[in-house]
Structure 1
Amino acid sequence: MAEATPAPPAACEREFLEYSGPVAGMKYPVKVKYCGDCGTPIEYCEFYPNYEKCKKWLESNLPDEFGKIVSVKDDDGEGGGGGGGEADDSEKKKRQTRGGKGTVKAKKKSEPTGIKVGTSKRGKKKTITIVIGLASYDIDLKDAAKFFSNKFACGSTVQGEDEICIQGDVKDDLFDILPEKWKAISEDDIDDVGEIKK
């Protein structure tokens, strides 16, 4: 039998995190309360860019927890008087605002500008059909591309913010299918722009 090799001396000197068991006075399983506005646990709401909205939601839905959080803030000295507006301004300057869920960009509401349908050459013999302008009718471009793929049995992709490329020359069929599928579109809104240079 082979003997177990002893651990190197450097490994014996390291301190590892040891689990000491459940904490006395804590009730398990721990129930975490989440904010309805930002979706994070309520103790992390202060790091959310729209903290004021979280405070309003907490005050109306969880007043006990709101009272605890506000009293903790006052003890830390953030909510106290004395300094007044200067402390609040410097706090806003220190807080870093980040993108993501907190800063959702509002979509621009624009009038429908019409739909442009054209073709483009891909290689020597291949043709693709390009549809521009569906997004101005509040049509989800991914769903529209999937619909075109199923309808024409070909590939279709979303290109850019307001453009769908369909493999094959299906331009003539689109004049009938678009008003039939989406009632907001009339045949007068669809323009044939011929060949589009890419």
Structure 2
Amino acid sequence: MYQEWRRQRAERRVQPGNGRPLKRFRWWQPLTRALFHLPLTNHDGRQVVYAVDVGHVQRFMSENGKGKAHLYLDGRHHAESPLPAAFPVQGGTIEVAATPFGLKRCHYVTAEGAERQLIPDRRSGEGRRAHLDREHPALSRWIGYLSLILLVIPLLLLIPQLVEVAFKVPPVKERFGTFTSPIRLPIWLNLTLTLGAVAAAWERALRLRYNWLLDSMAKG
């Protein structure tokens, strides 16, 4: 019920498009733009193609830091909505949600509840990552494992430091005493771990993977 309420709320934010043509994905845009496609068959049997276009630079420079998703129909601007977005389309809804590093959701959800991810543009970062997964599945898995490790390690190192902070709270300190974290990392190592976590979160975003606890490590 909560998910349905959120979807309906997002659908009310959708605004009509202006009909402008969809711009081609350029080779320099993998880090700044996400583009996904969805071919569907209309009631009359005619195939149409929806496209979801999200500019990450525009997201970060927007007033609320969330930005917008743009929906195109057969290459023309059909609608737009603040993120997270829910676009009503033929037979269901296209749902789009973002993370600080990319997208965590760009799925078509049918009226019956079935869902599938839209197809990333081959030239986009998401498309190149999906191509790697198809052509080199073993390498793709190892990259995924490495990304997970680069997020787990900072989390494990952060836990003792958070415990130390918690033991400084007066009621806790009075009852249990103090706790000093045994972990004291040099600045260069903290910086290295931070950069590794950012790279890992970005790689996971290319696969539309997101975990609120793990990926929050990359935000600092």
TM-score by length of 2: 0.22
Q: Between Structure 1 and Structure 2, whose CA radius of gyration is higher?
A: 1
Pick the structure with more strand per residue.
2
TM-score by length of 1: 0.23
